[in-house]
Amino acid sequence: MIAIVAGLFAAGSVFSVSAADPTANVFVDFTAHGQPTSEYSLGGTISTYSDGGTNLIKGSNRTLWTQYLRDLGPLVWRVPLFHHNGQVGSSAGNIHGGNEGEAYVRGIKSIGGIPMIAVGGTTGDNDIRASDAAALVRYFNDNGGQRGGPVADYIIGNEPDNGFGVGNYIAGGNGSDGFHNIAVAMRQASAQPLSLAGPSLVTWADYKYGDFRQFFASSHADTDVVDFHKYGDGQPLGNLGVTSQYGDAIAWLRNEIDLSFGDRADGIAIQVGEFNYHTRYDAQWRNSFYTSRNVVHTASVIGHVLRAGGSAYQYSDNNGPLGLISDGTDLNDQPGGRHVRLPAYWGVSAWSGGAWSRRYGQTMVAATTAVPDLEVFATDNAKKIVLINKSETTDRQAVLALTGKSSGTYTAWRYGRGMDPANFTSGAQFLPPLKIATARAFSQGRVVVSVPWMSVVVINVD
């Protein structure tokens, strides 16, 4: 178990807490602004793994699927596409083809989303020809935007350190024309400025430092966004205790960017292009993916990423237990014949608000507690607080001391505890949050809420 201790906030500054009220155990200072957020701060991936099934554009249940994704509110949606022989289709590993790129981009925009294309290669993720990448840009961006375009945001390749070769990805080889040549061709193909991301390495960890530094040294002039992936920490239960690693990753990358990108460093964004509880599913992960552990884990990861100044993109909408919505099959212990919003979906919604609560605000603010296993994150403009109880056994009463908002009203929702992985019908981990307070008055900057073990409470403050 972990303890989240009051202390450093944002860029090394110290958040001081008044001891005037000894009963307060959670402290939120709406005047202590940290990292800004943006429309790019939160998102997911349209996986395109759905031949014979359903997703945003396919299958008999696509209307329901589309509504579920729309209910999350406007997000960034990554989608893997490549240009081939005049067609634009999926570049996902085992569905490399089709001509559905326009439908995916239009589908993303129809739910208020921002499309971000992960550019694929001729046969895989990274064997990208500069001419094909340029043709992909023109496909959407010519004539001021066509076929659902324009599209401004692109990621070049995907996990080149997973067998393709980081050297080939950077300098060319193994079917790639190299990051610089691809980036130049893409920019020349668009009348509007593009945002180009890389290197999308498999994970952030100390054994990947060399790969990141190699990419930064060679490709910093062509990169607008540093993208990396991270999937938990390999512990079915222990992953909950190490979600702070996501913030550590962003801090490390920010330092490396400052060292490598020169005058451009301050304008370089960082995104976790893929995150999830784990990279795959088997029986030992059943109590992780299909219980409130994944609501808690997802909400916590997003909090740490946003507080550190990054963007968090869950992987993915349609990916079995790793998805936001079950795929309708009975594979991997899923409910056959049903599309159920899985716990990760609700973890995302705790931040996106969507059809339930308020979207995250424009700025992360100082939020601390010394209560064991309890995390707190908050934003200003608009004021929103996310409380996360990671305990497996202990309910907590959060007594919040609010600075910068001495009185007003608050509305709160609780994402309830559901620990039976088979209870897809009535388990709280598969259901919308319960509203536990509506426009309730508070004064003297004090709000008190109960946060049961393995649950998330979201508070809108007005």
Report the side by side order of strands in the sheet with 446-451.
434-442, 408-415, 455-461, 384-389, 374-380, 363-369, 26-36, 396-403, 446-451
Please list the pLDDT of the chain residue by residue as tens digits (462 residues). Answer: 333 333 333 333 333 334 445 599 999 999 999 999 999 999 999 999 887 789 999 999 999 999 999 999 999 999 999 998 889 999 997 677 889 999 999 999 999 999 999 999 999 999 999 999 999 999 999 999 999 999 999 999 999 999 999 999 999 999 999 999 999 999 999 999 999 999 999 999 999 999 999 999 999 999 999 999 999 999 999 999 999 999 999 999 999 999 999 999 999 999 999 999 999 999 999 999 999 999 999 999 999 999 999 999 999 999 999 999 999 999 999 999 999 999 999 999 999 999 999 999 999 999 999 999 999 999 999 999 999 999 999 999 999 999 999 999 999 999 999 999 999 999 999 999 999 999 999 999 999 999 999 999 999 999
Distance, in Å, from the CA atom of 152 to the CA atom of 355, rounded to the nearest integer, reads 27
Residue 287, amino acid: N
Residue/partner pairs of 94-97 with CB below 8 Å, 24 or more apart: 94/49, 95/48, 95/49, 95/50, 95/51, 96/120, 96/123, 96/124
Please answer whether residues 356 and 346 qualify as being in contact, where contact means their C-beta atoms are separated by less than 8 angstroms: no
Distance, in Å, from the CA atom of 399 to the CA atom of 174, rounded to the nearest integer, reads 58
CATH architecture of 42-352: Alpha-Beta Barrel (3.20)
CATH architecture of 8-36+362-461: Sandwich (2.60)
Whether the ω angle into residue 150 lies within 30 degrees of 0, i.e. cis, is yes
Please answer whether residues 212 and 261 qualify as being in contact, where contact means their C-beta atoms are separated by less than 8 angstroms: no
CA-angle at 232, arms to 228 and 235, nearest 5° = 155
**For residue 459, is it left (φ>0), alpha (ψ between -120 and 50) or beta?**
beta
Give ranges for CATH 3.20.20.80 in the chain. Answer: 42-352
444: exposed, middle or buried (Cβ count in 10 Å: 0-12, 13-18, 19+) = exposed
Q: What is the pLDDT of residues 249-300, one digit of tens each?
A: 999 999 999 999 999 999 999 999 999 999 999 999 999 999 999 999 999 9
Element (H, E) at 217: helix 209-219
Q: Which residues contact 71 (CB under 8 A, 6 or more apart)?
A: 349, 354, 355
- pTM for this model (two decimals): 0.95
Give ranges for CATH 2.60.40.1180 in the chain. Answer: 8-36+362-461
Please answer whether residues 358 and 461 qualify as being in contact, where contact means their C-beta atoms are separated by less than 8 angstroms: no
Please answer whether residues 96 and 90 qualify as being in contact, where contact means their C-beta atoms are separated by less than 8 angstroms: yes
Please answer whether residues 254 and 10 qualify as being in contact, where contact means their C-beta atoms are separated by less than 8 angstroms: no
Distance, in Å, from the CA atom of 432 to the CA atom of 129, rounded to the nearest integer, reads 45
Distance, in Å, from the CA atom of 445 to the CA atom of 404, rounded to the nearest integer, reads 8
CA-angle at 27, arms to 23 and 28, nearest 5° = 145
| Residues facing 459 on adjacent strands | 385, 412
- Read off the DSSP letter of residue 279: S
Of 291, 323, 240, the residue nearest 420 (C-alpha)? 291
Distance, in Å, from the CA atom of 183 to the CA atom of 168, rounded to the nearest integer, reads 15
Please answer whether residues 164 and 155 qualify as being in contact, where contact means their C-beta atoms are separated by less than 8 angstroms: no
